[in-house]
Amino acid sequence: MTAETAAVSYAAGPAAPPLLETTIGADLAATTARFPDREALVDLAEGRRLTYREFRAQIRALATGLLGAGIAPGERVGIWAPNRWEWMAVQYATAEIGAILVNINPAYRLRELEYALTRSEIAMVIAAPEFKDADYAAMLAEVAPRCPDLRETVLLGSPRWTELAGTAIDEDRLDAVAQTLSPDDPINIQYTSGTTGAPKGATLTHRNILNNGYLVGELIDYTEADRICVPVPFYHCFGMVMGNLAATSHGAAVIIPAPGFDAAATLQAVQDERCTSLYGVPTMFIAELGLADFADYDLASLRTGIMAGSPCPAEIMRQVIDRMHMREVSICYGMTETSPVSTQTRSDDGFDERVETVGRVGPHLEITIIDPLTGETVARGQTGELCTRGYSVMRGYWNEPDKTAEAIDADGWMHTGDLATMDEAGYVRVTGRIKDMVIRGGENIYPREIEEFLYTHPDIVDAQVIGVPDDRYGEELMAWVILRPGATELTAEALRAFAAGTLAHFKIPRYVHVVDEFPMTVTGKVRKVEMRAVAIDRLGLG
């Protein structure tokens, strides 16, 4: 980078290692040839262990079965299930034949399910019969008649699933199909959380997600010796890309501790399977560290892991490093539309970089921070909108060219909607969402700054700050807080006294709401839109 470009918020990642210019199926074949007898997958709840040789044979059998069922390259196959070995098998089997996997959120109910099925024109949906309190089989039976493209519903564990998964492998047919596939073919549709408006289907290619998983793994030094505990949902890129594809591109093992997140099951899996890496959003790590018998688990095998989804409080990061032995834990930042990771901390980064930043730009990517109004690149240290360009940017939103054009500009930049700064060394700090920024009496206030301050309060375990309507100032600040065990109350007056002299007066929340948990998406992101709606009703501000 020249001295001139160093003064502005732009950075390009290294050009090494080279990108994988291949398909997911071909990459799995290469890994299997190198490590046929190493474990690829361990599903503890289902008691299933598969070596790479066994795993590839399983997905080739299922891929043959899907072809026999009439699934053609480019057709959409939905998967609606929690984390289990069959989810991973469907992920790789669809990639093997060029079908497009559509991830259906395990939390969806009738209206959302029907939207995903019809919007993506899904031909086959493979689903768990049920999960937690949701009867998937009954919901599918209800919406199927209203989904004109849906030809078949397959329930895991049913005779039809057994038939598909047990099909005799047709090597010639599979190889013939493979010859027609390109790394740039769309292979996956993931619906964004839809916090505003209807969810949009981010359409991702082999090249997008295979390389993102591979390069994320490279930056935390994965090898075939690694065993990755993945309690985050496969439904999201965190599980299926940063977990599954990072593992299979390196010959590492994916350990599934439970169908849904369970703190105790996760630590038990780390101990029993000697996991070297553990994934989670900060709330998962908080839950694990908060177990009464945490000290009884042997976590000495851990070396690294990934924390993403939301900022990590410094005290939690300190415990993750010291008490969980994750000295090389990595912070990742991104979005579904960028496959997902754009920036990442490295294994040799210091503590401050892990709690104050989301790292630096990844290999083969560019990032820039622009003024949202003018589009001009801002100077280093100034706040603006973070944009990403490179191999990871999605093909577009499924069948929504107008929405795609709103998100990806003519120069190929994906506009994230996130506010961020870049320092002189290229480290990025995400300060909030453009839509989350609070404007109080003409002052632009970034909730992240106030949340970080609230973490210093001795009674506060977690905090989120939102803006609520105000007749005088336009907006006022409200803090939602989770208190430590034994602390029962925190008033606005007490918080104001705590903040006096430290925060500017206009940054001190006017309202405080104590809760046991925050409303979250299935991927662990706090739903501030829902919090605002609840707050407006609770405070009578409608």
Mean pLDDT (the chain) is 94
Range of the domain at 371: 364-391+403-436
Domain membership of residue 227 (yes or no) is yes
Domain membership of residue 122 (yes or no) is yes
pTM of this prediction? 0.86
Predicted pLDDT at 368: 98
Does the pLDDT of residue 195 top 60, yes or no?
no
Residue tagged 């409200």 (tokens): 478
Domain membership of residue 283 (yes or no) is yes
What is the band of 440 on the pLDDT scale with cuts at 50, 70, 90?
confident
Q: Are residues 355 and 476 in the same domain?
A: no
Does the pLDDT of residue 126 top 60, yes or no?
yes
Q: Are residues 115 and 210 in the same domain?
A: yes
Q: Are residues 371 and 451 in the same domain?
A: no
Average pLDDT over residues 417-437: 90
Task: Compute the radius of gyration of the chain from its Cα atoms.
Answer: 23
What is the band of 193 on the pLDDT scale with cuts at 50, 70, 90?
low
Q: Are residues 482 and 383 in the same domain?
A: no
Q: For 378-418, what is the HEC assignment?
A: CECCCCEEEEEEECCCCCEECCCHHHHHHHECCCCCEEEEE
Q: Are residues 78 and 209 in the same domain?
A: yes
CATH number of residue 412's parent domain: 2.30.38.10
Tokens representing 33? Answer: 């040839």
Instruction: Kindly report the number of other CB atoms within 10 A of residue 428's CB atom.
Output: 23
Residue 420's closest CA among 410, 411, 405, 430?
A: 430
Q: Are residues 98 and 234 in the same domain?
A: yes
Q: What share of the chain has pLDDT > 90, as a percent?
A: 84
Domain membership of residue 398 (yes or no) is no
Q: In Å, what is the CA distance from 227 to each residue of 1, 243, 252?
A: 37, 10, 6
Domain membership of residue 143 (yes or no) is yes
Predicted pLDDT at 5: 54
**What's the domain count of the chain?**
3
Domain membership of residue 6 (yes or no) is no
CATH number of residue 492's parent domain: 3.30.300.30
pLDDT digit string, tens, across residues 322-369: 999 999 999 999 999 999 999 999 999 999 999 999 999 999 999 999
DSSP 317-380: HHHHHHTS--TT-EEEEE-GGGSSEEEE--TT--HHHHHH---EEPTTEEEEEE-TTT-PBPBT
Q: Are residues 353 and 445 in the same domain?
A: no
Beta strand 39-43 with 474-483 is unpaired
Which letter, b or e, does each residue of 334-350 get, where b requires 16 or more Cβ atoms within 10 Å of its Cβ?
bbbbbbbbbbbbeeebe
Domain membership of residue 19 (yes or no) is no
Average pLDDT over residues 488-501: 91
pLDDT digit string, tens, across residues 294-316: 999 999 999 999 999 877 888 89
Q: In what order do the strands lie in the sheet with 365-370?
A: 10-12, 365-370, 384-390, 414-422, 428-433
Q: By the 8 A CB rule, do 98 and 24 touch?
A: no
CA distance 104 to 113: 7
Residue 427's closest CA among 359, 345, 356, 352?
A: 359
CATH number of residue 76's parent domain: 3.40.50.12780
Does the pLDDT of residue 511 top 60, yes or no?
yes
Q: Which amino acid is at 221?
A: D
Per-residue DSSP letter, 167:
P
Predicted pLDDT at 196: 44
Average pLDDT over residues 484-499: 91
pLDDT digit string, tens, across residues 132-145: 999 999 999 999 99
Average pLDDT over residues 391-402: 97
Domain membership of residue 10 (yes or no) is no
Q: Are residues 378 and 357 in the same domain?
A: no
Q: By the 8 A CB rule, do 509 and 494 touch?
A: no
